[in-house]
Amino acid sequence: MDTKKLENLVTKTGVGLLFFLTFVGIIFVFDVAFDLDMFSNSMKNAVGVFLGIVCVFVVCSVLVSLMLNVSRIANSIEDIANKPVEKQANEL
C-alpha cells in the first residue's frame, strides 16, 4: 500500500473517531453533570470503557499519521538536498 494512501486513511479514521468521541463525550458529560440518568450504571461503565478504547485508537492514529508524515517530510528534504548536488556534478 502506498504511504500517502495509508496516511490519508489513518488521518480520516482518526478524525472520524475524534468527532465520534467528542459527540459521545459531550452526551456523557451532560448525563453525569445534570444527573439525567439517561444510562444505567452498567451502561455508564460500558460507555466509559468504550470511550477509553476509542481514545486509544485516536492516539494511535495520530501517532501513525505523525510518523508517516515525518517520513514523507524527510524524503522530501532528501530529494531537495540531492538536486543541487546532481546539478553540480553534471556541470563538472
Q: How many domains does the chain have?
A: 1
User: What are the phi and psi torsion angles at 81 (to 5°)?
Assistant: -70, -30
Give the pLDDT confidence of 35-88 residue by residue, as tens digits: 888 888 898 889 889 989 999 999 999 999 898 889 888 888 888 888 765 565
Rg for the chain, CA atoms, rounded: 22
DSSP state of 37: -
pLDDT at position 88, please? 54
- Is residue 2 predicted with pLDDT exceeding 60? yes
Domain that holds residue 73: 3-91
**Residue 38 contacts residue 78 (beta carbons within 8 Å):** no
Give the pLDDT confidence of 25-49 residue by residue, as tens digits: 898 888 888 888 888 889 888 988 9
CA 66/CA 44 separation, integer angstroms: 33
